[in-house]
Amino acid sequence: MAGEIYQARGPFLVNFNGMDVMVQQGTTVRAGHPLLAGREHLFEPFTVDYEYEPPAPAPKAAAEDEPKTPRTRTTKPAAE
């Protein structure tokens, strides 16, 4: 999902989809959500305190590093 995230500046009560909804301070909502429409002044951009950047995936082994022949399992003859 993309889009900026907003958080409520303070608590407020709103009629949303025919129901009274109590939005608490700090409640987050993504840009484009109908809860923001006409209520933008009640929200501020959400700022992440501790960002995480996942490590880059390891490079895939080159074709020459892969075995040329498939490995096969050998079995011993059954003992008589």
Question: Cα–Cα distance between 25 and 10 in angstroms, integer?
Answer: 4
And the tokens for 25? 């301070």
Give the whole-number percent of the chain exceeding pLDDT 70: 72
Q: Which residue has the tokens 């951009």?
A: 45
Position 18 scores a pLDDT of 94
Question: Cα–Cα distance between 68 and 79 in angstroms, integer?
Answer: 33
Letter string b/e over residues 6-20, b meaning 16 or more CB atoms within 10 A of that residue's CB:
bbbeeeeeeeeeeee
pTM for the whole structure: 0.61
Question: Cα–Cα distance between 20 and 79 in angstroms, integer?
Answer: 79
What mean pLDDT do residues 29-38 have? 94
Residue 66 pLDDT grade (very low, low, confident, very high; cuts 50, 70, 90): low
